[in-house]
Amino acid sequence: MPVSEFSLIDRYFAAHGLRRPDVALGIGDDCALLIPPAGCCLAVTLDTLVADVHFFAAADPEGLGHKALAVNLSDLAAMGATPAWATLALTLPRADEDWLGRFCQGLFALADRYGVQLVGGDTTHGPVITITIQAHGFVPPGLALRRDGARPGDGVYVTGTLGDAGLALAAAFGKVGIAAEHESYLRRRLERPEPRIAQGLALRGIASAAIDLSDGLAQDLGHILECSGYGARLEVDGLPRSPALTATLDRDAAMMTALTSGDDYELCFTVPPAGAAQLEAIAATWECRCARIGVIEAEPGLRLVRADGSACHLERLGYDHFG
């Protein structure tokens, strides 16, 4: 790699201040040397964002830095893991220092809030901006929030509101008009998702299963159902929706968006009836909403029920990259 790129790495990535005692050696050698806590499981996850597939190439780099890390921290949250370290593979068409500086601002602002240290990575030239982050966290054995633990009778819950990111994306593509008063809220929901780390940690020992919502509620809850071997009934008129979503879309379009649009990065989880009161007490302290949206049933499949008890059918289930 040319000398100028070593200095870029030094200036933008190695120079950043945060130091964790469990990082024996960070950026600058052939490998980072990390000291995981004794007896803990290491939770490892990786997500890639590709220009013009996952974001507009001209998108605000600060937002990209935030989102590239946020989607990985969201996976740690959905596992009930405490975030610790990250690595970053960056492919750039050119060494644009302004872009890098702002990307790092977004990345490190979020990393610092959760005490995450960037410990290494790779920087390469390539035709389009590609951002890959691997995040590492810790979870005590037996306490991880897996997808396979839901049982009939467990309540189905979600954090926050659903469909905002999908609505923001539809607006960006000119498919729907949104009132000026909702614009900044919706853009924030798409570009600056807040990983539900505190919620994931609080759900250890309470939730029987969990997943983060990247591809839409119907599809992502479907993974819990498949892994657990059961089905669910959802009360679709009770799905938590923001004022922006309700004001923009009619009842059916809002429901479809809440059920099938991706990129919300909220948590969907299940809790046995015995834990419902404890969950309610804990969720009362959260800065985001927590809504009970349905129940796990023995019969496989997802059943959607309206407030009047009538059944409802989905035309399509979430976003499928190869669909």
Answer with the entry of Mg ion, ligand ADP, none that 118 interacts with (C-beta below 5 to 8 A by kind).
Answer: ligand ADP
By beta-carbon proximity to ligand ADP, the closer residue of 90 and 290 is 90
Place of tokens 């290491």: 42
**Residue 76 CB, nearest approach to ligand ADP (Å):** 19
Q: Which stretch binds Mg ion (CB under 5 A): 61-69, 80-88, 120-128, 276-284?
A: 120-128
Answer with the entry of ligand ADP, Mg ion, none that 1 interacts with (C-beta below 5 to 8 A by kind).
Answer: ligand ADP
Place of tokens 């349905």: 294
Asked if 10 is part of the footprint of Mg ion (rule: CB under 5 A), the reply reads no
By beta-carbon proximity to Mg ion, the closer residue of 122 and 181 is 122
Q: Which amino acid is at 21?
A: P
CA distance 318 to 323: 10
Asked if 125 is part of the footprint of Mg ion (rule: CB under 5 A), the reply reads no
By beta-carbon proximity to ligand ADP, the closer residue of 3 and 307 is 3
CA distance 114 to 84: 8
By beta-carbon proximity to ligand ADP, the closer residue of 36 and 121 is 121
CA distance 295 to 153: 6
Which tokens hold the place of 229?
């071997």
Which tokens hold the place of 297?
């049933």
**Residue 30 CB, nearest approach to ligand ADP (Å):** 5
Answer with the entry of Mg ion, ligand ADP, none that 35 interacts with (C-beta below 5 to 8 A by kind).
Answer: none
Asked if 6 is part of the footprint of Mg ion (rule: CB under 5 A), the reply reads no
Task: List 122's β-bridge partners, or say none.
Answer: 89
Helix (H) or strand (E) holding 244, with range, is helix 243-248
By beta-carbon proximity to Mg ion, the closer residue of 27 and 145 is 27
Asked if 122 is part of the footprint of Mg ion (rule: CB under 5 A), the reply reads yes
Buried b / exposed e along 82-115 (16+ C-beta atoms within 10 A): bbbbbbbbbbbeeeeeebbebbbebbbebbeebe
Please give the backbone phi and psi of residue 37, each rounded to the nearest 5 degrees, phi first. Answer: -65, 140
Answer with the entry of ligand ADP, Mg ion, none that 90 interacts with (C-beta below 5 to 8 A by kind).
Answer: ligand ADP
Answer with the entry of Mg ion, ligand ADP, none that 29 interacts with (C-beta below 5 to 8 A by kind).
Answer: ligand ADP
**Residue 61 CB, nearest approach to ligand ADP (Å):** 14
Residue ranges that bind ligand ADP, judged by CB under 6 A: 1, 9, 13, 27-30, 88, 90, 118, 120-123
**Residue 3 CB, nearest approach to ligand ADP (Å):** 11
Asked if 280 is part of the footprint of Mg ion (rule: CB under 5 A), the reply reads no
By beta-carbon proximity to ligand ADP, the closer residue of 1 and 274 is 1
SS3 per-residue string spanning 151-200:
CCCCEEEEECCCCHHHHHHHHHCCCCCCCHHHHHHHHHHHHCCCCCHHHH
Answer with the entry of ligand ADP, Mg ion, none that 121 interacts with (C-beta below 5 to 8 A by kind).
Answer: ligand ADP
Quick check: 117 and 111 in contact, CB under 8 A?
yes
Residues 6 or more apart whose Cβ sits within 8 Å of residue 13: 27, 88, 104, 118, 121
Q: Which stretch binds Mg ion (CB under 5 A): 115-123, 141-149, 232-240, 309-317?
A: 115-123
Best CA proximity match to 239, nearest among 227, 228, 251, 248: 251
**Residue 89 CB, nearest approach to Mg ion (Å):** 9
Answer with the entry of Mg ion, ligand ADP, none that 283 interacts with (C-beta below 5 to 8 A by kind).
Answer: none
CA distance 257 to 261: 5
**Residue 30 CB, nearest approach to Mg ion (Å):** 9
Q: Which residues here bind Mg ion, judged by CB under 5 A?
A: 122
